[in-house]
């Protein structure tokens, strides 16, 4: 053990994750004058953000001047079934436009309106066209823009200090396995270079988690291999808490054929631009699935729905544009009732709705994706689609304004998908890209301020580093355990079959038992080969993160006895206003996941007044409604 070489670095702020949130946080920390490191699990600019297609939601009002932050706030709360942290939803709605405009000063080139402003498109759950976009590769534009902004900051540093990496450095293909603490304060992070397998230690008083989601615990997922819940697990082990882990978004339209691409996303813009869902009988079935809470906004007949694309002010929206959870459940039940396609999905048809030329112009990467991966020409044939695990609403419980993690740890911040609360029980499409920017900036800025305020730098305790080295090397030194790939498949099977879209008590209990067994097997995992770029070893280390996060999800899913957004219980099919007042908070007690109930923060008066009483009645308890009435009465006086 004494022979192990560990490279050491000193930074003010270490950002773990190089997607949209991580890069935006790093930019902010560097602009605040902090020496900043960006840790990227893959190459710089490859993060999962590139997969985002539709756009970034921001109430700029370019396409419809009636849009405003209030309307955006309302849509977000509705989409999240009122379980959102209202303050996060408010900040997000207010600050998104500035964050988007700021990207233009970094060089981003969004699609334009006729008068030269940023064009905005329709999307599920958004009342007005609101998504700034670049064709259907908005995520790529966002990440490239931020990447190039970082390069421009490095060029400034080269000019001023003679070194590109004087104040901001990207550590590509580097994985953090452990956060190190000095008492209750973050002192640094320990990890390894994927390329060489060498260990690296970052000494830093402030760490921003921006590691994305957990989708790799599911077999059918739109997420890349990086999504193993690293940030969630690091936070838990450092003494922070997770909320809303039971809420996972299954995107309604993932590819279902061919098998090798199963799960890969078909952007919602296909539906925003006129695509419709049909079952094997050729029926446009979504009209049968409009829930009561959405009757006012969604059309109940094809004529009105079709008129909406041209005249959105005087018609109700097509039901294909319902929030994602509704559409995913509708597809699930069509397939279950035997009206699915041969590959187990439904048809998504744009070919009969738009001219071929128009489809290619508006949806170039979808056209490309189906042509190359499935040999399907979407201008001629319908696509086969079905639900795929896409996004985790739950995550690190944070202070809404600063992104500081709750729990007993200080100096830890989180932004983006790894943080929880912003999206409630269900995220609206387009809200994640703007979430990354708004809360990435906030977390980076507050991490910098926190580092400034410290009077003494925390110290990394040596035994903690030794323990981290031992844990990291263990799978390589064992040769009696199982292969990490087998374990991952088994984990995916448990999660997909027992903690999937539709959940039942018996299955969840079963899942928890099986996860308990897996925990023992994962503790004994062995990886063949050496330390140098060894994917088997990397996966073996990721597994324990996936496992603990999966336990959180299963436990919270068993506890929440209602159906809401990304959590559907067959045995409790309705939404229960009492459960709306509760967040389920996970923390780690030694090795076991502890679950607690915590009341939701109460929305401020001027925010709750943005809603119609009839609408609130669907979500709130009688007691809360009485409070609302009293408030209204007072305002009326």
Partner 1 sequence: MGTKRQFRIWRGDENGGELQDHMVEVNEGEVVLDVLHRLQNTDTPDLAVRWNCKAGKCGSCSMEINGKPRLSCMTRMSTFEEGETVTVTPLRTFPVIRDLVTDVSFNYEKARETPAFAPPADVAPGDYRMQQVDVERSQEFRKCIECFLCQNVCHVIRDHEENKESFSGPRFFIRAAELDMHPLDAKTDRKEYAQAEMGLGYCNITKCCTEVCPEHIKITDNGIIPVKERVVDRRYDPLVWLGSKIFRRGQVPQTYVTSAQHSGAVHSSAPHGGVHSHAGGSHDPRHETEAQRGVNWHREVPHPTAPATDANGKLPLTELTFDRAAAPSPFGDDVTFPLPPQHLNFAHPQQDEPKH
- CA distances in angstroms from 273 to 309, 358, 384, listed in the order given: 8, 10, 17
CB nearer to partner 1: pick between 102 and 466: 102
Q: Which stretch binds partner 1 (CB under 8 A): 111-119, 232-240, 313-321, 333-341?
A: 111-119
When asked if residue 38 is in the footprint of partner 1 (CB under 8 A), the reply is no
464 belongs to an annotated ligand binding site? no
49 belongs to an annotated ligand binding site? yes
When asked if residue 107 is in the footprint of partner 1 (CB under 8 A), the reply is yes
CB nearer to partner 1: pick between 62 and 550: 62
- Interacting residues of 390 by C-beta distance below 8 A, sequence separation 6+: 215, 221, 222, 223, 249, 250, 251, 254, 265, 324
Q: Which stretch binds partner 1 (CB under 8 A): 30-38, 143-151, 406-414, 546-554?
A: 143-151
263 belongs to an annotated ligand binding site? no
When asked if residue 86 is in the footprint of partner 1 (CB under 8 A), the reply is no
Q: Which of 183, 355, 530, 605 binds partner 1 (CB under 8 A)?
A: 530
Q: Which of 144, 423, 503, 581 binds partner 1 (CB under 8 A)?
A: 144
Cβ atoms within 10 A of the Cβ of 526, count?
18
- Interacting residues of 533 by C-beta distance below 8 A, sequence separation 6+: 194, 195, 196, 197
455 belongs to an annotated ligand binding site? no
CB nearer to partner 1: pick between 171 and 579: 171
Q: What angle do CA 116, 120, 124 make, to 5 degrees?
A: 175
Residue owning tokens 């323990």: 467
Residue owning tokens 């709130």: 620
| Alpha-helix residue ranges (DSSP H) falling in 80-134 | 86-105
CB nearer to partner 1: pick between 119 and 279: 119
CB nearer to partner 1: pick between 9 and 117: 117
The nearest distance, CB 62 to partner 1, in angstroms, is: 10
Q: What is the dihedral of CA 43, 48, 52, 56, to 10 degrees?
A: -90
Q: Which two tokens stand for residue 5?
A: 């070489």
DSSP-assigned letters across all residues of 358-395: HHHHH-HHHHHHIIIII---TTTSPEEEEEEEEEE--E
Cβ atoms within 10 A of the Cβ of 442, count?
26
Q: Which stretch binds partner 1 (CB under 8 A): 241-249, 350-358, 424-432, 529-537?
A: 529-537
When asked if residue 121 is in the footprint of partner 1 (CB under 8 A), the reply is no
Q: Which stretch binds partner 1 (CB under 8 A): 23-31, 152-160, 325-333, 423-431?
A: 152-160
Put the strands of the sheet holding 36-39 in their side by side order: 168-171, 36-39, 13-16, 206-209, 412-414
Q: Which stretch binds partner 1 (CB under 8 A): 132-140, 232-240, 281-289, 627-635?
A: 132-140
When asked if residue 338 is in the footprint of partner 1 (CB under 8 A), the reply is no
When asked if residue 104 is in the footprint of partner 1 (CB under 8 A), the reply is yes
Q: Which of 111, 358, 490, 559 binds partner 1 (CB under 8 A)?
A: 111
The nearest distance, CB 496 to partner 1, in angstroms, is: 17
526 belongs to an annotated ligand binding site? no
Instruction: Scan residues 353-382 and list those touching partner 1 (CB under 8 A).
Output: 365, 368-369, 372-375
First to last CA, the chain: 74
CB nearer to partner 1: pick between 83 and 366: 366
Q: Which of 3, 115, 281, 303 binds partner 1 (CB under 8 A)?
A: 115
Q: Which of 31, 164, 306, 464 binds partner 1 (CB under 8 A)?
A: 164
230 belongs to an annotated ligand binding site? yes
Q: Which of 81, 121, 126, 149 binds partner 1 (CB under 8 A)?
A: 149
- CA distances in angstroms from 298 to 77, 237, 269, 316, listed in the order given: 17, 44, 17, 5
- CA distances in angstroms from 369 to 45, 217, 512, 585, listed in the order given: 20, 24, 37, 39
Instruction: Scan residues 464-483 and list those touching partner 1 (CB under 8 A).
Output: 483
| Beta-sheet strands, E only, within 415-549 | 419-420, 502-503
The nearest distance, CB 108 to partner 1, in angstroms, is: 9
Q: Which of 19, 20, 22, 45 binds partner 1 (CB under 8 A)?
A: 45
Of the CA atoms within 13 Å of residue 407, those in its CB half-sphere come to: 33
Q: Which two tokens stand for residue 636?
A: 């009326």
The nearest distance, CB 630 to partner 1, in angstroms, is: 40
User: Phi/psi of residue 305, each to 5°?
Assistant: -60, -40
The span from the CA of 89 to the CA of 450, in Å, is 24
Of 80, 82, 365, 34, the residue nearest 205 (C-alpha)? 34
The span from the CA of 210 to the CA of 49, in Å, is 11
The nearest distance, CB 314 to partner 1, in angstroms, is: 27
CB nearer to partner 1: pick between 106 and 287: 106
When asked if residue 33 is in the footprint of partner 1 (CB under 8 A), the reply is no
**Catalytic site residue from 144, 237, 324, 329:** 324
The span from the CA of 385 to the CA of 278, in Å, is 10
The span from the CA of 446 to the CA of 388, in Å, is 35
The nearest distance, CB 145 to partner 1, in angstroms, is: 9
Instruction: Scan residues 549-608 and list those touching partner 1 (CB under 8 A).
Output: none
The nearest distance, CB 481 to partner 1, in angstroms, is: 12
Q: Which two tokens stand for residue 107?
A: 């060089």
The nearest distance, CB 147 to partner 1, in angstroms, is: 8
When asked if residue 155 is in the footprint of partner 1 (CB under 8 A), the reply is yes
Active site residue 324: yes
Peptide bond into 135 cis (omega under 30): no
User: Three-state DSSP class for 616?
Assistant: helix
Instruction: Scan residues 238-297 and list those touching partner 1 (CB under 8 A).
Output: 257-261, 264-265
DSSP character at residue 600: P
The span from the CA of 375 to the CA of 370, in Å, is 6
Residue count of the chain, please give it: 637
103 belongs to an annotated ligand binding site? no
Instruction: Scan residues 178-197 and list those touching partner 1 (CB under 8 A).
Output: 195
The span from the CA of 222 to the CA of 250, in Å, is 9
123 belongs to an annotated ligand binding site? no
CB nearer to partner 1: pick between 530 and 605: 530
CB nearer to partner 1: pick between 113 and 561: 113
Annotated binding site for substrate: 251, 267, 390, 427
Annotated binding site: 17-22, 40-55, 230, 251, 267, 390, 417, 427, 432-433
Active site residues: 324
């Amino acid at each position: 053990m004494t022979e192990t070489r560990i490279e050491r670095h000193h930074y003010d702020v270490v950002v773990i994750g190089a997607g949209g949130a991580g890069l935006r946080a790093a930019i902010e920390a560097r602009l605040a004058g902090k020496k900043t490191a960006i840790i990227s699990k893959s190459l710089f600019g490859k993060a999962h953000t590139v997969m985002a297609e539709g756009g970034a939601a921001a109430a700029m009002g370019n396409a419809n001047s009636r849009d405003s932050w209030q309307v955006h706030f309302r849509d977000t709360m509705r989409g999240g079934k009122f379980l959102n942290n209202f303050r996060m939803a408010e900040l997000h709605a207010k600050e998104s436009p500035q964050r988007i405009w700021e990207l233009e000063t970094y060089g981003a080139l969004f699609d334009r309106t006729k008068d030269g402003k940023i064009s905005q498109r329709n999307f599920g759950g958004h009342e007005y066209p609101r998504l700034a976009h670049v064709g259907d590769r908005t995520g790529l534009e966002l990440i490239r823009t931020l990447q190039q902004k970082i390069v421009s900051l490095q060029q400034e540093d080269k000019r001023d200090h003679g070194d590109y990496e004087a104040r901001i450095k990207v550590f590509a293909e580097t994985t953090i396995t452990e956060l190190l603490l000095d008492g209750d304060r973050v002192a640094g992070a320990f990890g390894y270079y994927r390329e060489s397998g060498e260990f690296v230690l970052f000494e830093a008083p402030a760490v921003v988690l921006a590691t994305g989601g957990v989708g790799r615990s599911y077999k059918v997922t739109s997420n890349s291999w990086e999504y193993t819940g690293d940030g969630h697990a690091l936070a838990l082990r450092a003494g922070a808490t997770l909320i809303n882990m039971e809420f996972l978004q299954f995107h309604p339209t993932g590819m279902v054929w061919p098998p090798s691409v199963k799960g890969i996303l078909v952007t919602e813009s296909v539906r925003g631009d006129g695509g419709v869902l049909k079952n094997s009988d050729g029926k446009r079935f979504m009209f049968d699935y409009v829930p009561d809470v959405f009757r006012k906004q969604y059309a109940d007949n094809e004529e009105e729905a079709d008129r909406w694309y041209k005249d959105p002010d005087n018609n109700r929206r097509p039901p294909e544009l319902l929030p994602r959870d509704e559409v995913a459940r509708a597809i699930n039940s069509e397939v279950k009732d035997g009206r699915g396609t041969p590959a187990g999905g439904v048809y998504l048809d744009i070919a009969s709705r738009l001219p071929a030329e128009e489809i290619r112009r508006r949806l170039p990467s979808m056209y490309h994706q189906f042509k190359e991966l499935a040999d399907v020409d979407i201008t001629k044939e319908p696509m086969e689609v079905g639900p795929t695990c896409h996004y985790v609403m739950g995550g690190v419980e944070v202070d809404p304004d600063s992104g500081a993690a709750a729990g007993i740890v200080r100096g830890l911040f989180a932004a983006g998908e790894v943080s929880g609360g912003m999206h409630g029980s269900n995220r609206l499409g387009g809200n994640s890209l703007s979430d990354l920017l708004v809360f990435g900036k906030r977390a980076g800025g507050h991490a910098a301020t926190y580092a400034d305020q410290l009077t003494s730098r925390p110290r990394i305790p040596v035994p903690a580093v030794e323990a981290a080295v031992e844990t990291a090397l263990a799978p390589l030194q064992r040769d009696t355990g199982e292969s990490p790939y087998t374990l991952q498949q088994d984990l995916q099977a448990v999660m997909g079959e027992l903690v999937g879209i539709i959940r039942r008590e018996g299955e969840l209990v079963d899942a928890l038992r099986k996860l308990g067994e897996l925990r023992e097997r994962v503790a004994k995992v062995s990886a063949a080969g050496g330390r140098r770029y060894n994917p088997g070893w990397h996966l073996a280390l990721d597994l324990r993160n996936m496992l603990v996060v999966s336990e959180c999800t299963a436990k919270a899913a068993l506890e929440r006895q209602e159906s809401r957004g990304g959590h559907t219980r067959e045995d409790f099919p309705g939404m229960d206003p009492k459960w709306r007042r509760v967040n389920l908070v996970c923390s780690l007690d030694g090795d076991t996941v502890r679950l607690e109930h915590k009341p939701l923060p109460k929305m401020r008066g001027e925010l709750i007044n943005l809603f119609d009483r009839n609408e609130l009645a669907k979500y709130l308890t009688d007691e809360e409604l009485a409070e609302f009435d009293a408030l209204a009465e007072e305002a009326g006086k």
